[in-house]
A and B are shown apart, each in its own frame.
Chain A
Amino acid sequence: DQQVKQNSPSLSVQEGRISILNCDYTNSMFDYFLWYKKYPAEGPTFLISISSIKDKNEDGRFTVFLNKSAKHLSLHIVPSQPGDSAVYFCAASGRSSGSARQLTFGSGTQLTVLP
């Protein structure tokens, strides 16, 4: 049972336009959500996070939106740059993770920003 789902395996966007990556979750016990970016042959790199008590968090070109009632979050990248091309993972942690607070990841979305 996938608790965190990224239903789009890939997304292509023109340079300078907005990239919107989506993520859905089923476990209402999740209280923190994170986005990671992963380049080939590297480990995931933390991008941005949001607490369940907020609905928006912004950091430079990256904004994460959280809709708790819909159990949906999205990552907006604007403007998109070719260097943003990578696999983006949505992750969640919460009280159901126990003391470990381990992250539960989605399956990732490959973003390609076309020059």
Chain B
Amino acid sequence: DTGVSQNPRHKITKRGQNVTFRCDPISEHNRLYWYRQTLGQGPEFLTYFQNEAQLEKSRLLSDRFSAERPKGSFSTLEIQRTEQGDSAMYLCASSLVQNSYNEQFFGPGTRLTVL
């Protein structure tokens, strides 16, 4: 399978715990995005990497959130001291810089439930 993969697919945690999600993009894609989707809404942009550099962060990304892409391949998104409001679907997407339409390919997402 050469698509975007995300792990885990589901995560249930208690408020105050830390969680980490992983995204493996399509191998030749140099851009990687994280989005968050809540019920009844479309995905909302969180942050973006070009290769290993994190170039943009949304104001939605509080200081409890941190993302890395250490070797320009897979990426991790960590949420510290989770809150119930963090419950959402976390989506990863990847694309090529050369793609003029900015077509992004999405993974299946990680559904986080904070109790």
Partner-B contacts on A (CB < 8 A): 4, 9, 32, 34, 36, 41-46, 49, 51, 89, 91, 93, 98-108
Nearest-Cβ distance from residue B112 to partner chain A, whole angstroms: 15
- Of B12-20, B67-75, B78-86, B96-104, which stretch is located at the interface? B96-104
A102 touching B105 in the complex, CB below 8 Å, given contacts A91-B42, A108-B42: no
Other than A46-B105, A108-B40, give 16 A-B pairs with Cβ distance below 8 A: A34-B102, A43-B109, A44-B91, A51-B101, A89-B43, A98-B56, A99-B50, A99-B56, A100-B33, A102-B48, A102-B56, A103-B43, A105-B41, A106-B42, A108-B41, A108-B42
Q: Are A42 and B108 in contact (CB under 8 A)?
A: yes
Partner-A contacts on B (CB < 8 A): 4, 6, 33, 35, 40-45, 48, 50, 55-56, 58, 91, 93, 100-109
Nearest-Cβ distance from residue B56 to partner chain A, whole angstroms: 4
What are some 8 contacts across the A-B interface (CB < 8 A)? Answer: A32-B102, A34-B102, A43-B108, A99-B55, A102-B45, A103-B35, A103-B43, A105-B42
Q: Are A89 and B105 in contact (CB under 8 A)?
A: no
Closest to A98 in B: B56
Q: How far is the CA of A108 from the CA of B44 in the complex (A)?
A: 12
Q: How far is the CA of A51 from the CA of B100 in the complex (A)?
A: 9
Q: Are A102 and B4 in contact (CB under 8 A)?
A: no
Closest to A104 in B: B45
Closest to B33 in A: A102
Q: How far is the CA of A45 from the CA of B3 in the complex (A)?
A: 11
Q: How far is the CA of A101 from the CA of B49 in the complex (A)?
A: 11
- Hey, which chain A residues are within 8 Å of B42, CB to CB? 4, 89, 91, 105-108
A34 touching B103 in the complex, CB below 8 Å, given contacts A100-B45, A103-B45: yes
Nearest-Cβ distance from residue A88 to partner chain B, whole angstroms: 10
